[in-house]
Each structure stands twice: as structure tokens, then as C-alpha cells.
Amino acid sequence: MLSKIDRRFEEVMCTLCLVVLVSSVLLQVVLRYFFSTAAVWAEETAVYGMIFAVYLGASMAIRDRSHIRITMLINALPRKPQVAFVVLADVLWFSFLVFMVVQTTIYTQLLFAVTYQTPGLGIEQRWVQMMIPMAFCLMVFRMAQVYWRWGQTGWKGLPL
């Protein structure tokens, strides 16, 4: 069960977010075109679906090591410099992710001091914004998981 969650969590959540996005946009188009009206909540759900899908997709790309990298130069180097450059880039990236966890958590905590409801859905903005630090935490976890798995292989190849 846990291995299925580990393998498919981001895909399932991204799919749900994209279904919400497409359904909201489609509903809005149908309502505007055929009935000359609109759902006030549809635009917000489409935006939130897109934002959540992007952050979860970034986590999925970290897990699968499918972010864009310039590997032509790295592949031309001997093994030790290859590993050094990849690890250095990942350390910088990991540092950025940790920085973003801290900063987005601070921002989200500030939202608990005020009351701001979204105009369309009428929910507190703090609950929506909490997704961002959670997504960065998931990215930190996935990057640590990549290196854990690389260590399990005896540090062979590159961290993939």
C-alpha cells in the first residue's frame, strides 16, 4: 500500500487537480455561451487546480529526476566531476527548497492573523495557501528520497 502511494501520489493528485481545472473551465464556458451566466466559484477552482497541479508536478519531477538539466557537459566529464556537479547543483536546489519551506510557512502564519475569504468560494485564504509550504516539504522529501535510493545502490551512477 505504501509503495503504491509512494509511486502514484503525485500522479493521482495532479490528475484530480487537472480534472477540477478542466471541469471548472468547461462549466464556465457552457454557462457563459449557452446560458449567458457564470459560476462565481469556477474561476477560483480552475486557478487553484492549476496552482496545485504545478506544485505537485514539480514534486513528481523531483521524484522521477525529470527536471530539465544540462547534461551534455556533465556527460562529457569523468565520473568524479559528474557526481560533484550533480551533487553541488542538488545541494543548491535543496537549500532553495528548504528556504522556500521556511518563507512560505512564515507567510502562511501571517495569514492566520487576518481574515481573508476568497470571493468566489468563500473559504479562508490561509487554507488554500497552506498547500504551498506543504508542496515544498514534499519536494524536500522527494529529493532526500532520491539520495536515499542512490545510497541504497552503493552510489553507482548518478542520483537518478
Structural domain span for residue 126:
2-152
Contact 44, 80 (CB under 8 A): no
For residue range 65-124, list pLDDT tens digits in order.
888 877 778 888 898 998 999 999 999 999 999 999 999 999 999 988 998 898 889 999
Inside any domain, residue 159:
no
Residue 157 lies in a domain: no
| pLDDT grade for 160, boundaries at 50, 70 and 90 | low
Residues contacting residue 123 through CB under 8 Å, at least 6 positions apart: 117
pTM over 0.95, yes/no: no
158 in a domain, yes or no?
A: no
User: How much is the pLDDT for 91?
Assistant: 96
Closest CA to 128 of 45, 43, 54, 59: 45
Q: How confident is the model at residue 24 (pLDDT cuts 50, 70, 90)?
A: very high
| Residue 6 falls inside a structural domain | yes
Number of separate domains in the chain: 1
Given this model, what pLDDT does residue 134 score? 96
